[in-house]
Amino acid sequence: MTIYQYRGRNPLVAPLCEYNRTDGNMQRFRFYRFVGKSAGTVDLDQFVIAVDTYSKFVFAYAAITDIDKVVGQEVPQAYEPVELHSEDERPFYEYDPIGYVKEDGTVVRYPQYEKDMKTDRAVNYLPRIHRPAEYPGFPETVARHDPEGQGRSPYYPELYAGQTQTP
């Protein structure tokens, strides 16, 4: 397995396009891609997560756009930026984070993300903003570094309505 890290640019978008050049927040992110073989036979090329180097929150940045059945399993074959497929076309980092990175480098996934992955099937997963009407009890505050600390992205602009600057 080979792990690729892309610094400050979404690898699903052309490096010099406006999306990667003009958004100052992009420089905060490390995007990860895994390439290898599953069970030694199935080729994998997975665009997985983006980690915010400031907050250490983990975000989904890729939408699966094509899958193949391989030995009875659905295997992603193509990806596009989530902005092209998500509910209201926000930048990926404005959606609720899916987890966070602990000081020792361990990634902790939030329970709602795990639940969404099962409900949506992993190959259909898209990040979202969990609104109270649809997800009673989901916090509307910024997520925390705690296994039960799910919540909003620190970049979710509605948290800062009336203020002049977001983080």
Report how many domains make up the chain. 1
Q: How many CA atoms lie within 13 A of 164 on its CB side?
A: 0
Q: Which residues of the chain have pLDDT under 70?
A: 22-23, 40, 160-167
Q: Is 167 contained in some domain?
A: no
Q: Is 156 contained in some domain?
A: yes
Task: Compute CA distances 74 → 39, 44, 130, 153, whole Å.
Answer: 14, 11, 26, 30
Give me the domain span that covers residue 114: 2-160
Q: Is 18 contained in some domain?
A: yes
pLDDT of the residue at 74:
85
Q: Is 165 contained in some domain?
A: no
pLDDT of the residue at 70:
81
Q: Is 166 contained in some domain?
A: no
